[in-house]
Amino acid sequence: MYNFNSDPRFKNVQPFEKRVWLSSPTMHGEELEYMKDAYETNWMSTVGTNIEELERLIAEKAGVKHAVALSSGTAALHLAVKLAGERLYGMPKAGNGTLAGHKVFCSDMTFSATVNPVAYEGGEAVFIDTEYDAWGMDPIALEKAFQLYPDVKLVVLAHLYGTPAKMDEIRNICDKHGAFIVEDAAESLGAEYKGVKAGKLGDYGIVSFNGNKIITGSSGGAFLTDSRADADKARKWSTQSREAAPWYQHEELGYNYRMSNVIAGVARGQMKYLETHIRQKRAVYERYKEGLCDLPVSMNPMDLQNSAPNFWMSCLLIDAEAMCESVRSERNYLFAHRFGKSCPDEILGALDSFNAEGRPIWKPMHLQSMYRSHAFVTADGDGRGNSNTCIHAQGHADHGADIFNRGLCLPSDNKMTCEEQERIIDIIHRCFE
């Protein structure tokens, strides 16, 4: 491990006494009241007022007709993908998932929770490369993918770090090919694209209340839809598929995915602070943009022309010419420092050694060993057969690998003070010395 504390570039840099987090929960008080309510009325289960109210509030916030509160965003994605599979392909044969034998186009640069549910349902994810303007699914690559696999009927896409993907282009392509969209808005609650809220931009949407999201229940998630029948079905599946009968009557496979009324109390208390958190996160982003403008770097795109992002995460992208030599294996890295240059692993290491938490960009799914046999489509076509997938210069194939290699997530906690953020900006400057 490189020792930053004995590196003369970091002389006199004091470590943070209290760790500066990437994105930690921010409580306000109401959460505890609603939790106490659940306790005092003894609705300490997966039924109660907090759940009902939270579902109403989420639906209102996202502009959809129905929200179903679930145990996690991942559970919500699983039910969304399963429902989509059943709508598209009908009931599966016994022992099979609803997507058995079918390919599904998926965002490539995202958290694995976006794409794993496709495998839960027996489908085969085909990864679609990323564009540079919003760090979302690249419409050009998506169009290429439909040329290569014209039978595909389902697209699962994520908005990255709070910036909505290029939805007009993606929607047009999907309409042309008769494909259905599951929208993973886990990171982008409160964001908008051309006046429409994230979560309502696909055919089914999901949000997450995981601890590091813009608002949290400590855990939890929700499935979003305008269809009453689909909401009812997701709700039924999430409670072990009990039918309306005097005994435990089961006619379909079920899951234990319902949200707890205690957790719903936390999320319910947070709902009214969504706009406050967005404002604070935006200020963090803008301070970084200003404070780092003299370095050979850019910030993650916040496409303000078409959308109003929620600024969940501030990320940095180092200019290709300003990258020092660095290599990553499956589990480790090496870099050689050069004056005027740096790399994500150096900056993340420096931040960590002074007690601040950053994070690498989501490692693209096509680079994950568990998905190595799955197809990957770039703007140039087949991303697996392309010899320049190893050359990650901007403008070439494999944008995802390029952004992963040159990018990182900065400490983006909304409770970070200006003084703390200035010290972080200073540490980043020293990395380039």
Ligand X SMILES: *Cc1c(COP(=O)(O)O)cnc(C)c1O
Contact footprint for ligand X (CB under 6 A): 72-74, 110-111, 113-114, 158, 184, 186-187, 208, 210, 221
Least Å from the CB of residue 314 to ligand X: 15
Q: Which is nearer to ligand X, 113 or 323 (CB)?
A: 113
Least Å from the CB of residue 433 to ligand X: 34
Q: Which residues pair with 297 in a beta bridge?
A: 318
244 three-state secondary structure: coil
Q: Which is nearer to ligand X, 350 or 361 (CB)?
A: 361
User: Is the separation of the CB atoms in 221 and 248 below 8 Å?
Assistant: no
Q: Which is nearer to ligand X, 271 or 324 (CB)?
A: 271
Angle at 281 between CA 218 and CA 291, to 5 degrees: 140
Q: Which residues pair with 106 in a beta bridge?
A: 127, 156
Tell me the C-alpha distance between 16 and 230, whole Å: 49
Q: Which is nearer to ligand X, 218 or 241 (CB)?
A: 218
Q: Which is nearer to ligand X, 210 or 225 (CB)?
A: 210
Q: Which is nearer to ligand X, 129 or 143 (CB)?
A: 129
Least Å from the CB of residue 307 to ligand X: 17
The bridge status of strand 297-299 relative to strand 315-318 is antiparallel
Tell me the C-alpha distance between 208 and 199, whole Å: 11
Instruction: Output DSSP code: residue 7.
Output: -
Least Å from the CB of residue 408 to ligand X: 16
Least Å from the CB of residue 344 to ligand X: 19
Least Å from the CB of residue 113 to ligand X: 4
Least Å from the CB of residue 256 to ligand X: 15
User: Is the separation of the CB atoms in 281 and 26 below 8 Å?
Assistant: no
Least Å from the CB of residue 361 to ligand X: 12
Name the token pair of 412.
């983006």
Q: Which is nearer to ligand X, 225 or 389 (CB)?
A: 225
Query: Number of C-alpha atoms within 13 angstroms, CB side, residue 155?
Result: 33
Q: First vs last Cα of the chain: how many Å apart? A: 20
Q: Which is nearer to ligand X, 67 or 350 (CB)?
A: 67
Position of minimal CB gap to ligand X: 73
Q: Annotate 124-169 with DSSP letters as a single string.
A: EEEEE-B-TTTSSB-HHHHHHHHHH-TT--EEEEE-BTTB---HHH
Least Å from the CB of residue 72 to ligand X: 3
Tell me the C-alpha distance between 18 and 12, whole Å: 18
Name the token pair of 93.
């044969």
Q: Which is nearer to ligand X, 164 or 221 (CB)?
A: 221
User: 315's torsion region: left (phi>0), alpha (psi -120 to 50) or beta?
Assistant: beta
Least Å from the CB of residue 209 to ligand X: 7
Q: Which is nearer to ligand X, 208 or 342 (CB)?
A: 208
The bridge status of strand 196-197 relative to strand 192-193 is antiparallel
Q: Which residues contact 383 (CB under 8 A, 6 or more apart)?
A: 127, 129, 366, 375, 376, 377, 389, 397, 398
